[in-house]
């Protein structure tokens, strides 16, 4: 059976472990620097197995050596941005965490496919690749799956239809700099422009941009974790089962979309080797400009961290 490591046992990490276990994608190791936290959460998930019927080994640990020989490693470790914290402060703190995590991946799981979830997502994915030294296609970030899912959910809510019939696509940076693509977003194959007025589409795009913040404002403390965990599990499943699914991910660009030497959200084919192909779509002039702005933001972060 395959082995999957989840670094970080906060809400996103532990919920990811739960979803991976339910899908029986492999044996799972969840590690954290906080003593007792991964052990306790792992034990809780194990005790749910007889009820739900999944049958995988789950280990909670503070020892990085336990991730040895993992096929897939998911990095959820990092702090959330707190009120009053500057983006650059968050970036530097999480970059240091990523550096430590990456060194341990290099030591114990150098053959793994690595999925980065920590924020700022595109920049932390770039840092992961640089610190691990893995081939760029073996390191990618989870962002577009989540953003596209949020866009699809809002469209379904607006139309009062099943989410199963909505296929949405979002590119670019995760968060404020995402680029929604209405022309590639459909309801049972029908473009949403045929079903919704432009002003409504624009409103739903804006809500998608603010989706994470909206949840934070409701929760007061903490942030989203159910949808992120589901998005991660979808990506892991495509890798473990070599499904070759077309999924938006933060992938390393080498000329695609007129950008190079950075990670940014684009549609890719995910299989056992990681990002097996980047799919280039035709963008409108305004969408290409927005995509380039996302790229410039990532470059500024790379320069500040001197990666």
Q: Write the pLDDT tens digit of every residue in 1-42.
A: 999 999 999 999 999 999 999 999 999 999 999 999 999 999
Q: What is the pLDDT averaged over residues 90-101? A: 94
DSSP-assigned letter for residue 59: E
Annotation says 174 is catalytic: yes
d(CA 275, CA 110): 17
Point out the catalytic residue in the list 95, 123, 174, 208.
174
Residue 213's pLDDT is what? Answer: 87
User: CA distances (Å), 31 to each of 8, 90, 165, 173, in order?
Assistant: 6, 22, 37, 28
**All structural domains of the chain:** 3-141 (3.40.50.720), 144-305 (3.90.110.10)
Q: pLDDT (tens digit, 9 = 90+) per residue, 145-161?
A: 999 999 999 999 999 99
| Contact call for residues 112 and 73 (beta carbons, < 8 A) | yes
* Percent of the chain with pLDDT strictly greater than 90: 89
Tokens read off for 60: 């909670």
Residue 81's pLDDT is what? Answer: 67
User: Angle at Cα 205 formed by Cα 92 and Cα 220, nearest 5°?
Assistant: 55
Residue 218's pLDDT is what? Answer: 93
Residue 216's pLDDT is what? Answer: 87
Rg (CA), the chain: 19
Could you tell me the pLDDT band of residue 83, with boundaries at 50, 70 and 90?
low
Residue 79's pLDDT is what? Answer: 84
**Is the peptide bond between 203 and the residue preceding it cis, with omega within 30 degrees of 0?**
no
Residues for the chain: how many in total? 307
Q: Which among 119, 123, 116, 120 has a CA at the least distance from the CA of 141?
A: 116
Q: pLDDT (tens digit, 9 = 90+) per residue, 235-277?
A: 999 999 999 999 999 999 999 999 999 999 999 999 999 999 9
Tokens read off for 26: 């492999």
Q: pLDDT (tens digit, 9 = 90+) per residue, 39-80?
A: 999 999 999 999 999 999 999 999 999 999 999 999 999 987
Tokens read off for 144: 């577009």
Residue 90's pLDDT is what? Answer: 82
Is the predicted pLDDT of residue 84 greater than 70, yes or no?
no
């Amino acid at each position: 059976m395959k082995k999957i490591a989840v670094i970080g046992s906060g809400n996103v990490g532990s919920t990811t472990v739960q979803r991976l276990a339910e899908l029986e994608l492999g044996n799972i190791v969840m590690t954290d620097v906080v003593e007792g936290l991964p052990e306790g959460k792992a034990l809780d998930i194990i005790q749910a197995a007889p009820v739900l019927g999944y049958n995988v080994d789950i280990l909670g640990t503070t020892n990085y050596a336990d991730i040895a020989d993992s096929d897939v490693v998911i990095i959820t470790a990092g702090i959330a941005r707190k009120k009053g914290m500057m983006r650059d402060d968050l970036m530097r703190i999480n970059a240091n965490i990523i550096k430590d995590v990456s060194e341990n991946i290099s030591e114990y799981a150098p053959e793994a496919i690595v999925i980065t979830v920590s924020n700022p997502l595109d920049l932390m994915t770039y840092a992961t690749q640089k610190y691990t030294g893995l081939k760029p296609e073996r390191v990618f970030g989870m962002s577009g799956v989540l953003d596209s899912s949020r866009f699809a959910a809002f469209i379904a809510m607006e139309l009062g239809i099943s989410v199963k019939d909505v296929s949405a696509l979002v590119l670019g940076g995760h968060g404020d700099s995402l680029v929604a693509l209405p022309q590639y977003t459909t309801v049972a194959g029908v473009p949403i422009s045929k079903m919704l007025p432009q002003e409504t589409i624009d409103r739903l795009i804006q809500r998608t941009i603010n989706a994470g913040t909206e949840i934070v404002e409701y929760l007061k403390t903490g942030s989203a974790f159910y949808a992120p965990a589901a998005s991660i599990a979808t990506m892991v499943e495509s890798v473990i089962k070599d499904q070759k699914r077309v999924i938006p991910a933060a992938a390393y660009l080498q000329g695609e979309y007129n950008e190079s030497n950075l990670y940014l959200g684009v549609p890719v084919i995910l299989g056992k080797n990681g990002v097996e192909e980047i799919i280039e779509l035709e963008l409108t002039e305004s969408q290409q400009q927005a995509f380039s702005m996302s790229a410039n933001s990532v470059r500024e972060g790379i320069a500040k961290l001197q990666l």
